[in-house]
A and B are shown apart, each in its own frame.
Chain A
């Protein structure tokens, strides 16, 4: 059975063939993507030059004034800083914890299947209920956390984790990391099983200590698992909107706002669709930069390990 226009001796024919398949294979995904993602994104960017409020059919073009407003928006800067904090910690915490768990679980310890399921379980739960349960963990008077602290120290402890601007964002990040760790753990576990046992054996016979073996042999071999984990974490960190929305809603007084939350508040609570859209344009540009960096690193990794 041969392909329609394929001819082994004809290079041009082969290129024609490839072009044919590129078009055939790429058209469906790109079409769906263009219609349902790119076009809506572009039209939302269009609103960023208007003062539309969502309700009124009358709106004016206001040029770049929405973007000028961003520079004077105190909350925007706060949100940008929080977004960076959120992304970095949402990247580091679940990744590191997942790696540690994977390494521990890879030791053929008793009950690893059981442990693995427990660590993965949180991902199966929806943001609504996860957010709520963490609210109850952080509840100052009878929450689990403060109760435990009181049990251990014996002193009265009523710190309101989610209500204090210093701790609100981080408290949500902890909850978020709790939910996401299982994901990186599973991927790292897969990566670990892929490491040929001969490599480990030979290093062991050369007398390398466990730490050295982990640091110099196993971790470098997990680089491409890491690229997958990072990609997933980055994507997910934006899905983290839901849990933040449930737990603090960006509060107290906007101290845990991220850009996504800020955009939501401006668009849907203040009905400033135009301004909200301009925030999402900026958010999108930031995302492009991050992805650019990610791809550069990915290519480096490909060159070294590919």
Chain B
């Protein structure tokens, strides 16, 4: 009878779905990795570095790239299923702190000491990015520095030869540019985070790294005069018309394009902008350059702001040996570090990487970080994720209507206090 056959067929189909499927047990030589280095440059360059590891050892990498917004979801879901990859990339700072607190990471102290990574990883980065709750969890794969990137030609045309080092000088620069009919500052805060560097630097340069660390940890309030002062300086810049209009409509690449085209003179951005600009054919030093965010208050230690891309090991790894080998190799192999930082427009945390690897602008960034008193994570990596969400929205709201700054800050203080209680 025909209908029985069809039903059998259907039954078989579903039986098949559940039976006959076995995942092969992972070979011990295989290391699974999940990372957010996607996009044309990221995928290819990361693949090449993994090949170097495979060639140097007997391990095979099982690669799983995920675009970085979805990556957060992906890692969370996998953690919830106790199925984190052996190795994954993550942003050093509050985010790693969060998953370390949740005991989702495997400490790497032993490997760190055996491999002598203290001598290999730059101290400023190692101190700020690798230790959590007294244990070592992360190796820095690369880091970025955020500075004021500008169009050299625009500056030259406006007759500016000296870049400012203090706040008055900076205000004078903006004024000069403005009077030449050039919008001084581009900002693309559509995705919110590009605005954070302004808050970071204004606060760091006026209230100092210690106060900021307290604010990020919930030990100070967004109602404090220190925060008010920083926001006040920011507002003064916007009110003076120094920022390009509709910042919230643009992404950071839009803002970079505005600077590249000469619609604006400069933008406060991370060193990845050099990778982007070089890709568009701009020449470092000739077409663009940067200066560090000017000092505001005398006596305040100079801090550099930026993110550190790290590699960590999942707590449930089935191949801890391979995972540790991978971490060790990726940070200590100078060939990997040189090629990777070049491809990403990033800085290497490996002190043995030859400085000649960098172009003139990156070299300057490297020196700046080296000579600064402290390295601080940018806002969304410095404060816990629920708080970061509140703060990032606050920046976007501020850029939309700076005149409501008092009201916005009051609201933020309240929301942040609530978020810290989570």
Q: Are B103 and A56 in contact (CB under 8 A)?
A: yes
Most chain A CB within 10 A, of B103, B386, B394, is at B386
Please tell me if B192 contacts chain A, counting CB pairs below 8 Å.
Answer: yes
CB contacts (< 8 Å) of A252 on chain B: these are 190, 248, 396-397, 400
CB contacts (< 8 Å) of A51 on chain B: these are 422
Please tell me if B73 contacts chain A, counting CB pairs below 8 Å.
Answer: yes
Q: Are B400 and A165 in contact (CB under 8 A)?
A: yes
CA gap between A57 and B422 in the complex, in Å: 16
Within 148-195 of A, Cβ neighbours of B (below 8 Å) are at 158, 160-165
- Shortest Cβ distance from A52 into B: residue: B80
B contact residues, total (Cβ < 8 Å): 36
Within 258-272 of A, Cβ neighbours of B (below 8 Å) are at 265, 268-272
Q: Are B102 and A55 in contact (CB under 8 A)?
A: yes
Give chain A nearest CB distance to B252 CB in angstroms.
14
CB contacts (< 8 Å) of B249 on chain A: these are 138-140, 160-163
CA gap between A162 and B248 in the complex, in Å: 8
Q: Are A158 and B246 in contact (CB under 8 A)?
A: yes
Within 385-400 of B, Cβ neighbours of A (below 8 Å) are at 385-386, 389, 393-394, 396-397, 400
Given contacts A158-B245, A265-B389, whether A272 and B103 have CB atoms under 8 Å apart is no
CA gap between A268 and B80 in the complex, in Å: 12
Please tell me if A122 contacts chain B, counting CB pairs below 8 Å.
Answer: no
Please tell me if A8 contacts chain B, counting CB pairs below 8 Å.
Answer: no
CA gap between A101 and B73 in the complex, in Å: 40
Please tell me if B163 contacts chain A, counting CB pairs below 8 Å.
Answer: no
CA gap between A5 and B102 in the complex, in Å: 60
CB contacts (< 8 Å) of A203 on chain B: these are none
Please tell me if A94 contacts chain B, counting CB pairs below 8 Å.
Answer: no
Within 174-207 of B, Cβ neighbours of A (below 8 Å) are at 190-192
Give the residue of A56, A57, A158, A270 whose beta carbon is less than 8 angstroms from that of B386.
A270
Please tell me if A80 contacts chain B, counting CB pairs below 8 Å.
Answer: no
Please tell me if A292 contacts chain B, counting CB pairs below 8 Å.
Answer: no
Please tell me if A46 contacts chain B, counting CB pairs below 8 Å.
Answer: no
Within 208-266 of A, Cβ neighbours of B (below 8 Å) are at 249, 251-254, 265
CB contacts (< 8 Å) of A140 on chain B: these are 246, 249
Please tell me if A89 contacts chain B, counting CB pairs below 8 Å.
Answer: no
Within 22-77 of B, Cβ neighbours of A (below 8 Å) are at 72-73, 76-77
- Shortest Cβ distance from A138 into B: residue: B249
CA gap between A158 and B245 in the complex, in Å: 9
Q: Are A55 and B98 in contact (CB under 8 A)?
A: yes
Q: Are B400 and A163 in contact (CB under 8 A)?
A: yes
Q: Are A268 and B400 in contact (CB under 8 A)?
A: no
Q: Are A272 and B246 in contact (CB under 8 A)?
A: no
CA gap between A1 and B2 in the complex, in Å: 11
CA gap between A176 and B103 in the complex, in Å: 42
CA gap between A74 and B418 in the complex, in Å: 12
Q: Are A55 and B393 in contact (CB under 8 A)?
A: no
Given contacts A163-B190, A249-B191, A253-B394, whether A56 and B389 have CB atoms under 8 Å apart is no
19 A-B pairs (CB sep. < 8 Å): A54-B76, A54-B77, A55-B80, A56-B101, A57-B102, A158-B246, A162-B190, A163-B247, A163-B400, A164-B400, A251-B393, A251-B396, A252-B400, A253-B393, A270-B385, A270-B419, A270-B422, A271-B76, A273-B80
10 cross-chain pairs, A with B, having the tightest CB-CB distances, nearest first: A55-B102, A160-B249, A163-B248, A56-B102, A163-B249, A160-B246, A270-B386, A253-B393, A253-B397, A268-B73
